[in-house]
Amino acid sequence: MSQDDFPLDANGPAYTTPQQRHGVPLVYVGEKLGHAIEELHHFARHHPQQRQALVAPMYYLLVAHLGLHNMLAKANDQSLALRLLEGSEAELRSWLALIEREGDVAGLAGLDAP
């Protein structure tokens, strides 16, 4: 298997379009989505009986957060939302830091350029 066998665009062509925008920095939007994920996780930890009802809202927050960081393919993991809801605060923060560190809110840093 060669390096060319691995897609560089984790969002896939159906979810990728070049855009020029002016407005709130996407890093700020990502930060707020991260806080929303943390708050939902906090609620789930204090109300474990509600955890199953929180899987769908967590999933949609994760899709938005991962899409913003150009890592949408990670949302294909059907167990991700529940795993994060059941995990510790440290595990969630570590996961969010990984997405922020490895993702790219501005696109794939020119990797699509010829």
- Supply the pLDDT for residue 55: 97
Q: From CA 82, how far away is CA 78, in angstroms rounded?
A: 9
Output the pLDDT for position 3: 43
Collect the ranges in the chain with pLDDT lower than 50: 1-7, 110-114
Report pLDDT digits (tens) over 35-63. 999 999 999 999 999 999 999 999 999 99
Q: What is the pLDDT of residue 22?
A: 87
Q: Quick one: pLDDT at residue 10?
A: 67
Query: How much is the pTM?
Result: 0.81
Long-range contacts of 42-47 (CB under 8 A, 24+ apart): 42/89, 44/85, 44/86, 45/89
